[in-house]
Chains A and B, each alone.
Chain A
Amino acid sequence: MRTLQKILYVEDEPDIQAVARVALEMVGGFTLEICSSGQEALESAKVFHPDLILLDVMMPGMDGLTTMRKLRDQPGMAAVPMVFMTAKVQPEEVQEYLAQGAKGVIAKPFDPMKLSEEVRAIWEQDHG
């Protein structure tokens, strides 16, 4: 089984970016690329070739769901699991993300010490 190494994180909030960087790089040991917008992510994904993509939902410009759809349309991205990390986690919202093809949903506020484990669990479930 391929191991999870490269994660692309799309998040407009710099403070949360900082927390996620420590949580995923230092605690989880992943290689992290962070983009501040959906548009940026579309460009970055072409060169970064992530194993998994973490997405915020509410972002200025392009929202998380649109970003996910556009990313998936890019060559070689169809099989990359996309995971939402969001504060919008009402049951019907979560249903919607999963229906749109997300592989998992992580609620904010997240536990930074456990974030890596959660991401890895989703990855393993997808590749299991």
Chain B
Amino acid sequence: MKKKLFIPFIFSLLLAVLLVACGDESNSNDSNGGETAATDTLIVGTGADPTSLDPRKTWSGPGYSINSHIFEPLVFRKIEDGKVSIEGILAESFENVDDLTWKFTIREGVTFHNGEPLTAESVKFTFESILDPSFNTPMTIWLSEIDEITTEGDYVLYIKTKTPTRGLLSSLTQVPIVEPNAVKDLGDRFNVEPVGTGPYQVVEYVANNNVKLTRFDDYWGEKGVTENIEFRIMPENAVRLAALQRGDIHIAENISADKVNTVSDDPNLEMHITETLRVNMFVANYANEWMAKQEFRDAISLAIDRQALVDNILGGNTIAGSSVSPPGTIGFEDSLSIPEADVEKAKALLDEIGYDGSVIKMGGPVGRYAMDQQIVEATAGMLEAAGINVELETLEFSSYVPKMDELAYDIYYIGVADLTIDPLTHWKGYYYSDTAEGGYSNSEVDALMDEAIKTMDDEEAIELFKQIQKILYEEKPTFPLYYEPHMVGVRKGVQGFAPRLDEYIIVRDAFYKK
């Protein structure tokens, strides 16, 4: 009888816990942006923390997306009808004075968020600070061709390059301009309270939680539409989708391909899908005697059914790859067809060259690209079906990159984005003899690339780019599979949002109306 007292004791405790819980809940629901009628804040769920808002250090997709609201570069990509070109942003105009010199006229009347005016000096400072070796930023890659930067008056800037460099404009799209005094005054704090010229300014950045932006009223151009933008950091794909379904967020980036239907079927949500400038491909490592053989690579290409990968694993949400360059970029060779898939031919070819069943080590990342692990596993299966003895390893991206760098695999998967609209930057790492990761070497390709870098005329350069693509299509130092799809889930009621070829989420023209 006495022991029975325990039951009421437990229940009262449980009740107390529940009451506390409910109390907490009731006073928090109003602050929940998704459920109220408030339309002044647009909330975007993003997959990774930007880690620093200093755009001179940013080297990740989510970081670029956020920075695009706070900062502006001299010139930027213009995406129109699936074609990419370059337009002036903070540069009112730009011209190629001679082979080595570019002249930029800086837009007048632009102010930074702290009220300081934009001058040629701000641009010079930004570039020089990035090039300072003690600053430790990967962004030096974009500016490494620069020899000297000079200013003339407040609004004219000259950039001299070491060699004739056709890619300079492309590279400059990746370099947003910062406010020199703020950099000097704020020191470390510039990483979290940066000052730029963009249509939105930073209110608060709580690491691993969110970045809050508010409209900058003295913006020089067309002002942002929604008053506030919040980027919420939500690393887990499934949770980001759940948050979108509940209305905690309005836009969710990177919906996984197998969840696209979940979003499309939800009456409150819609999918925005585009293929991007990222080429997802396998790279052949020529250190392996078989991979170095042209016929063996031909057989691999025949064994891979690219269209099946796109249809069955990516839900048909992108297009199969033909060229090492993505469609829409300057010089994309559209006459190339998707390489044929024919297992029987592949087998015959392997027989012909006497492939002895040696192990081919294949590597792929997990969770970095859409369905990456599944794609790599399926491809391994296709190669096995053709009789190639594949040993597969898939690893979390941060463990994968170093193994890839030290060439631990005979064939490995990677997605390379051509964000600078100049293919030479990303081709250099795979097809230029001195720097090709897989060991590919072809003096003809080298000569064409050397020539293209120096060619300022677009038409001439396009011809060179096309020739290079045709050679690579035949020789197959890499196997382009498809172009990374960009899949964004959006709540109905969000207007003015469009997914971009460059995978950036830019919502300055978007707003949410319940």
Question: Are A and B bound to each other?
Answer: no
Interface residues of B (CB under 8 A from A): none
